[in-house]
Structure 1
């Protein structure tokens, strides 16, 4: 029966295991894998700048029933870009063609290297597309396509007509309506590949990026058919010659029309005459191929030699019935704004501009600290030979999250030839725009005017990289032409010093500590430890140990690592700084600012050491021994056993009245055959130890060593045994008890 029972139990276990395996198999087979969509940056990447003043007014052509939307340069949302003001260039509307160009003063200059960096939001599905265009059309900043037929939404505001018309020697070809002397890098979002709209016939996959030559029939267009004449009088439908086309969906994002931001980069290297561009996903780092436009095409198509190696640049777009919108923000423009206006930010008489445009704040970097007053400066220069200007106003943009714009702007002035002119300021505390006006201020060719004002930072906030940008609105004297001169924004940091935390123990915020010591414990320097924490990175900290206003110890300087963990530090209080009573010490923390000046932290540790004294009998021998004696050696005064010395110690750490005495008494059982006597050092007479105290030590005859008074007696001194007769051999242990009595007087009372 027992064997059968175990067999049955084994079988049940195996069956249960089989059921478990089947259940797990079902559970795994129903698991669903979720894949996250790849998009661009959902918010404007930090570093976007204000470009107001760079662009001329937009150009808008509308078909019947069309609208221009809000095409132009607008101020971006205040909750983006870390609260730093920035501009958005918007192309929008319906049934229209639009263009916007950098003004005459801000042409691309191909005689030097330049870089452009902007972020593009392709909107959603409504927009047809847009193009980044370089051109030297005779219409300059008003250039835009002249083709507005129903089939011309495909021209992205830069290309020409949908085809040719006419016959024989009188054929009008599509480039006739395009922006002349142009190169377009197109971002085509809608495929035109049927009927009279065939621009994408050679590459119908969208969205795509490519470049072409809108004003050049031979390079930019191909007829759908054998030639441009077509059937007599009808012409031919055109398709665009796309150079280096690449599909964008599935490369930089799953669907670039997702309302997020993608980075468009283009660079010209003068040394190699190389113009390159690409589109990048700023979140993943994935980008298209890096495409190149040959210098021969750039030079010939843009007619650079006839235009001082300069060209207009900007954006064009078009929309059909749907109200599409595309937006751009800039972190770098391809022109040198510092040629006219140069900015600086001053704190404590030194520039705090972050010339490296660092991504992370380091303690040794120049910066303002919350609570500082900061001076913002713009130097406006006018080249010799240019027209004199009347300065209407100086418009600046600063971060309202950093500056306390409720407090007055001060030191508003413009200085030229060492002569200062005062101005007035109007502040928009919500947007951070500060507009400054200087009555009747003019700037002559070849002169520089230095503008400045001082503003208060807030009392506190998070460490922030922000920017200062400025724009001068002027009027040319003599012809009343309005001119705007923007600056390159300059980055700078405003930091909030994270408070240094101090503690005596882990997991405790208690900053006060009290300990009691006997004065005898202060014969050596007192070692102590404390804990500190500081979340700043690479900040220098200095700790001081003080007693009242007296500096006791300057500890070794430490560097912070940004961790929240507490670190240990040690200090030492010299013994001569610890006296009777209450001793109050403090640990103070200082951080070193950018000028290596010590700035006191709020946190302080307090240590109270209470010192008192006492009189105690510290030590005496545990036993006195007379052992292994023969009967013939048991009469007279008997020394103690060899090695049985006798040492007595008294500690007196009291502050005053070091008077004490130590007496000895003995209590013996009745009928003992011996007595105890005291043999002092170098004393001829022995004294019998009775129940009355016999002084053996006092504060006058024994020197102290660190508050301890000690005396030692050899085997023939101190307490001895004396017998008048020979004693019987026996064990007398415990028959006599010696008492040591300590008195706080010179003699026993």
Structure 2
């Protein structure tokens, strides 16, 4: 976080700004390109303009460089503190609505960018600050002017090198504050010259720190993260003075660094986004201390996936809330940052704002065959039925959270259905047709999560496609759940798929088919078939028949071992016979899905058999011929039917049963005297409805729920002269006799 001195050879390119301020230049083209790159690679975050105020400095020579970037295509904004040399940026959340609650657990989740450059050639860095000095808080010099440099806009500015004490430095810091610094400009010298002392670049210099943790050895010469109270004096003071070795009147200031994280090289200014999670736990006893845990690099900037413990780094600080509390238990929070002779692009993207929403997301994948979890790198077979589970948990907050799901499904996974189950008992069916785009599902949660409705469980059922080669490695995926007040991510484990070679069909003999079956009521239905399974790593000749009837699971059936032949080398062949009890069949169409599962998890495709039960729901008297008559006027007309139609539906299934009458035409009405001339029938559900042309697609033209156990009803009695099936006569219609065929259909469906 230090200010920098430039070589004398560069003096002609810079201007001196005053005491303690080094020579200042301008950001170059590389810095501009780096800023463009940072914005282009900005991770998913929140729109944040509503949360923050950017204060104005009452100083003619220093303006606040902080800003909020415009919304990008992902509806994300960043706080941009600095992007040039000689800057000071501060930005504070609006305390009335977006305060830091010192009495409650708080979580902040964010991405930070520190530029791209070598150690010693970058700006000073940033600081995450909790404070109660006010909405315009910043570091100042002894004359009350805002100062940046090594203060980062939050620490005290040591500008009196001949007669000062640590209390004077602390008085020039942000008062009633705690800060977590991200120092990108460490000093590399172990001695201090008079010029260095005057330039205020001494906070990290040398060894011999007065604190008891011995942190000087950890941070010296390294980019680092550390915490302290910027205004603390007296016992436990943040600053202390040392005489330079060049004279007896010039002092330099050192700062105590607590809870440090440090690494060699430009590990912060490496041109990458760094994820940071800050978690605050308040004191558990009156007068006690809370704890702030901060973890850096806990997510991969390229994928958003959680990193392993050897990549992320964490430390903590025991925070005394009375140090920053103004008596309300609430505090301002925000960021400060500064640069000196070297530019630095300092940006922050937020995933979760402290106090508003603290939410987590997790995910797992299960093999439906035995409900076992698929673990990292596990081998499964092509065709396996899988279940993707996503859990969203609202831990705490002052605002509700109703995110949009951006689920990244594993490669080759084909979803079949999905449902969201909320803690309050509400369920939401996922419309895959509208939600799916390639391997992504995008949909909004229908219920908000809050302190009462705390969880949402998203379940996606589907099947893993066979790979084109013998094996395929399926990479892990990261799904995002993005709401107005928070973003949560969940990582799916990678796994391996072995190619399955299967044959599975209904029917044993040539011409024997069970794809579509008609049956009478109260009759059991038997479906027969044969199968062949081969391919590594199948090792078992034991098989189970599984499936569903009308969406409900059927009982598993063990395949008779005597009907199976073969081995692991040549594969296994066998036959099956499955009987559907009549009591489980509903009137009309039933869908039976079957698949085969080996004892070691090898599975086949689904077979579909449509079983139609006829009988008590049927057509009664239906007029064979109907007609329309009209005198042509040269204007468009919708012509009503000639008298009543008789289309009776007989339903003996009992009171409350429902049906739908459908109609379709394979071709328009054709003029007998003019073969190329046609006319259409249209359907209107009411007199005011828009006409729908009756064509090859079925159109529901009547529906009913029965009122007796033996119900006979003329479906056309629901129509009027201005509704039902009408003849569409255009203004240019030609006189003649037109004929056509209407195909009626009857469906067991809701009325």
- Fold in common (TM above 0.5): no
TM-score normalised by L of structure 1: 0.41
TM-score normalised by L of structure 2: 0.41
Over alpha carbons, which structure has the higher Rg?
Answer: 1
